[in-house]
Structures are given as C-alpha cells and as structure tokens.
Structure 1
Amino acid sequence: MKPLKDTAILTTVANFELYQKTANLFPEGIQTYVIDGRNGMHALHSIFYMFKKLKNKGIDWLVMADEDVIFTNPQSVLELIEFMKRNEYSVSGVRDGGAIKHRNNNPYAINTFFSILNFKKVSKLFNTNEIIGNQYVNKGEFEDDLSKLVYSFDKKSLYEPYYCFYFWLRRKGEKILFLNSKMIEEENEQISNEVFDPNGTSLLIHTWYARSYGKNEKHTARIDEVLKQISFASNPRKPIIFKDTFFFIKMQVSKTFKKVKMKLS
C-alpha cells in the first residue's frame, strides 16, 4: 500500500508490552508516533504535548488510539477519514456519557481512547489558554439528540479535564462526529466496547485497563482473549517516540506550588 504522508496515528503509551501487540493491527501505510506516558503524561497534557511535537510534521489527519484499542478493520479507519472530509467533520469519537456502560459522564465530549482529528485545521486554531478556559457547560448550550443513548449520562459533568478541548472545538464551530458503540456482553467480557463507523462497520474493540495488562491476571486474560479472536499477521511497528523527560518533576513542582499557594491564601 502506498504510504499516506499526510495521515498518522498517535498512542500515548503507559504499557509497552500491550502496545507491541496491538500496534500490529494499526492501519497500514501511515506514520506511527508514540508519546511515552509511563511518567504520568496522559489526557489533556498529552493533547497539548502532541500539538507541540507534531506541529511541523506535515500531518493533515491524526488518529489517536490507546494501546488497549484492538482494530478489527484497520483500513476502515481510512475510509472514515474520507467520510469526515466529505462531511466537514473536524473530530470523531465515542461520547463519554451514555454510549458505554461504565462511562456515565458528559455526552457532549468524547472519550480519548480513540478519535480522529483534522490536525491540520485544528492546529491553525490551537490556543492553549483558550482551551483551558473552556472547562464549563452552559445549560442548553449544546443541542445534540441524546434520545438514543442506552446508558446514563450527566450533561453537567466536568469529570475529565480534557473535556475543555472538545468544548473549545465545539464553541469554535467545529463539527464532531459521534460514533456508535455497543458493549460486548459475554460471560467473561462485559467491560470492552465495540466501535462502529457511520455505515455500521466494526472499527475496533476497546478493552480498557491497559495499565493492568501483564499485572492483573483477570484483565490480562480478558484482553488476550480478545486478541485471539482477531486474525492478523505480525507487522512490527517502528514508531517515532516522544518523551517529556522532566514531566513528572514538573507536575510535582506544580502540585507543591498549588499547596503552598492555598496555605498562604
């Protein structure tokens, strides 16, 4: 397959043992990047860091997928990007409320386990301070039809600090494509969820609990069972890896400063 120079996939990895297995199933022909998250970097910090590190890489479309995401139809991801282009969507993903049994938070934002981002367009709008200032929800601000959501949700939830990124995009007038998801209801598997494209084609299974893989017997066995059901040939990736060496130290200093400030005030 001819390489797609303008498309890339990024994973913030906390568990490289699992990543080495699931990365075999990534879409072919696209550049692979990793943010080393073993020092605690994830979520909003990871989003900010990726814009810094990927800014001049010539990326138009960026797929973001955690290491506990197992692609069932990898190349369908590229078809989803084409759909997003045609319909002028800037980001796609699964709602963090109402679409997944154990995620009952805000339905107006996505969960970052998997998303596709029009990186070129959003990079031109990107403003850290603006984004941070969007961690709020105004009553009646978003008019999504939530009537088909199966599970509970909280329209006022600010549970995840990264919500501000998606609220910011929405307030900028950017369109979000919310993907359908269903739980895998099997005897030993009621945690994972399967994600579908707009045509109903299976894209991936998100197994959750990446950090527990290789450490917790239950979750390791559960994730391995999902991997066994997916047919794939070994396709080792050689990702470009980024790591903020001093991230943990900076976070500790920041926490200490906040504590001191609170005491003084």
Structure 2
Amino acid sequence: MEALLNRTAIITTVANFELYNRTSNLFPENIRTYVIDGRNGMHGLDSIFYMFKKLEDKGIDWLIMADEDVVFENSESVFSLIEFMKANNYSVCGVRDGGVIKHRNKNPYAINTFFSILNFKKISDFFNAKKISENQYIQINEFSDSLKHLQFEFDKVSLYEPYYCFYFWLRRKGEHFLFLNSRTFTKEDEKISNEVFHPDGTPLLIHTWFARSYGKNEKHTLRINRILDSIDTKSNFKNPVIFKDSLFYFKMKLLKSARKIKIKLS
C-alpha cells in the first residue's frame, strides 16, 4: 500500500478556490496533491496538456483527476479502484459523458473530466500533444461499446468537448477504459448532482457541478453546502503544489486574434 501511495497523485484544475478549500479536505490522504490555477481560463484540453508537461518527471504511476466540485464520500476506496484497474489492465476510468447523467447527453464513448484516473506512467511513455489534437473526430460505429444499458440520452457523434480527442486518441491506441456507474443524487439536490460508484457497488463520490457558481449564486452555494455538511468533513488540510501558466490568458487572446485575421484574409 505504501508503494502505491508514493506513486499516486491527485490534480485539480481550480477555478474556484473557495470551493476547493472545502472539498479538498475530503481528498485521499497521504498522496501528493497538485493544483493547476485555472482562474486565467485554463481548463479542458489545455489543462491536460499542461499537467503532462508539469508532472512528467515527478515519478507518478497513477494520477487522479478531480474537479473542485467533486465531494468524495469514501476517498480511500480510490486505492482499491486503482488496484482493480491494475489487475484488469485498465489505463483509464471515469464516467461516460453521455447516457449516464441526465443533463449530460453528449458523447458516451468519452469520459467527462470531472473525475478520472489515468495510468499516468504508461500514457506518459507515448504522450504526444500533436497526435492527440488530430483525434477530434469520430467515425460512425467506430467503437463497439454496448450502450443498451444507458438510461439517458446521448449523441454518438458529438464533439461537444474539445478534450474528447484525448480519450478518443487513447481508445484508438488500444488502451482499455473502465466506465464507472453513476446515478442522480436526489437528496435535497434538485436532481443536479450525480453519485459515482466503485466497481464493487459502493459510493465513491458526488459530483455537484456548477463550481464556478459557488459563493456567487445562492441556489448552487446552498445546494453544494448541504451535500458537504451531510458528510463528515474531518480536518485533512491540503497544501498542494500549485502550477500556473501566467502567460496563458495572453497566449489565448493572441491565438484568437490570429484566427480572426486568418478568417478575414481567407
């Protein structure tokens, strides 16, 4: 177990540090904790590329990705989940972005990045940002997943999230995915949050959504606080290593301007 702890880390791209300071108390203990400061607009695919760059030499075998609006119910069970992934040759786990969550009717072949576990060491060995970016497409009937069990709507050809290319690329490389079960968490929650389960059927976490609204929108703040208050939030102070690309906002503005000029010239 100690060896696994030493080779496992958790990373969060944070847009709302007020919420992160509450939810991170429930994160798995005794592993390295990293934050990407997303207040400059960094998220999604840019965040994935950035984390591989910043963590490539940190000796990490398994990387847990969890947003700041993820509330762990049993954080220690992530370690048995990782052991399950190791035993069954899974490189990625997470929740489908279509068909599983009522208000996410996007692509069921990709994972929503609110929570994911990666075999970081294995993927790092062949990671290629350029190749990943070229995989933002999908072919009809390309993937053979049985989707008959999915309860809600989905779109098999959706390219809604720019980060889908990362998961499509991994699937096309032959990496195995473990799709976790989830259901609507209805306890005083207006059917927004979803609860995610370990493969053994036990509750793992609740994803509350609307992280950016916490502390700003009364409805979502009260809703998320009710969930947090219902869980035994023992003091588990995190002192994460924080990464921030201070030039990211300006680089994005320049790229946007360049695209506009290119469109005008064409």
Instruction: Give the TM-score band, short-chain normalised.
Output: over 0.9
CA deviations 1:118-167 (Å, max 9, x no partner) are: 00000011001110000111111100010110000000000000000000
Question: Shift of residue 56 of structure 1?
Answer: 0.1
Asked whether the 8 Å contact 1:55–1:123 carries over to 2, the reply is yes
Superposed CA RMSD: 1.0
Alpha-carbon distance between aligned partners in 2 of 1:2 and 1:172, rounded to the nearest angstrom: 31
Identity, in percent, stands at 68
For residue 54 of structure 1, what is the aligned residue in structure 2? 55
Asked whether the 8 Å contact 2:36–2:243 carries over to 1, the reply is yes
Alpha-carbon distance between aligned partners in 1 of 2:212 and 2:251, rounded to the nearest angstrom: 22
Question: Shift of residue 2 of structure 1?
Answer: 4.7
Alpha-carbon distance between aligned partners in 2 of 1:128 and 1:160, rounded to the nearest angstrom: 16
For residue 5 of structure 1, what is the aligned residue in structure 2? 6
Alpha-carbon distance between aligned partners in 1 of 2:189 and 2:28, rounded to the nearest angstrom: 28
Alpha-carbon distance between aligned partners in 2 of 1:188 and 1:152, rounded to the nearest angstrom: 21
TM-score by length of 2: 0.98
Asked whether the 8 Å contact 2:29–2:236 carries over to 1, the reply is no
Alpha-carbon distance between aligned partners in 1 of 2:2 and 2:165, rounded to the nearest angstrom: 36
Within 5 Å, which residues of 2 pair with 1:36-51? 36-51=37-52
Alpha-carbon distance between aligned partners in 1 of 2:6 and 2:229, rounded to the nearest angstrom: 31
Q: How many residues align?
A: 265
Aligned amino acid, residue 36 of structure 1: D
Alpha-carbon distance between aligned partners in 2 of 1:224 and 1:232, rounded to the nearest angstrom: 12
TM-score by length of 1: 0.98
Asked whether the 8 Å contact 1:9–1:64 carries over to 2, the reply is yes
For residue 225 of structure 2, what is the aligned residue in structure 1? 224
For residue 198 of structure 1, what is the aligned residue in structure 2? 199
Unaligned runs of 5+ in 1: none
| Off by >6 Å, runs of 4+ in structure 1 | none
For residue 27 of structure 2, what is the aligned residue in structure 1? 26
For residue 173 of structure 1, what is the aligned residue in structure 2? 174
Question: Shift of residue 188 of structure 1?
Answer: 4.0
Alpha-carbon distance between aligned partners in 1 of 2:80 and 2:93, rounded to the nearest angstrom: 13
For residue 250 of structure 1, what is the aligned residue in structure 2? 251
The answer to whether structure 1 residue 90 and structure 2 residue 91 are counterparts is: yes
For residue 70 of structure 1, give the secondary structure of its aligned residue in structure 2. strand
Asked whether the 8 Å contact 1:2–1:29 carries over to 2, the reply is no
The answer to whether structure 1 residue 214 and structure 2 residue 215 are counterparts is: yes
Alpha-carbon distance between aligned partners in 1 of 2:126 and 2:215, rounded to the nearest angstrom: 40
For residue 139 of structure 1, what is the aligned residue in structure 2? 140
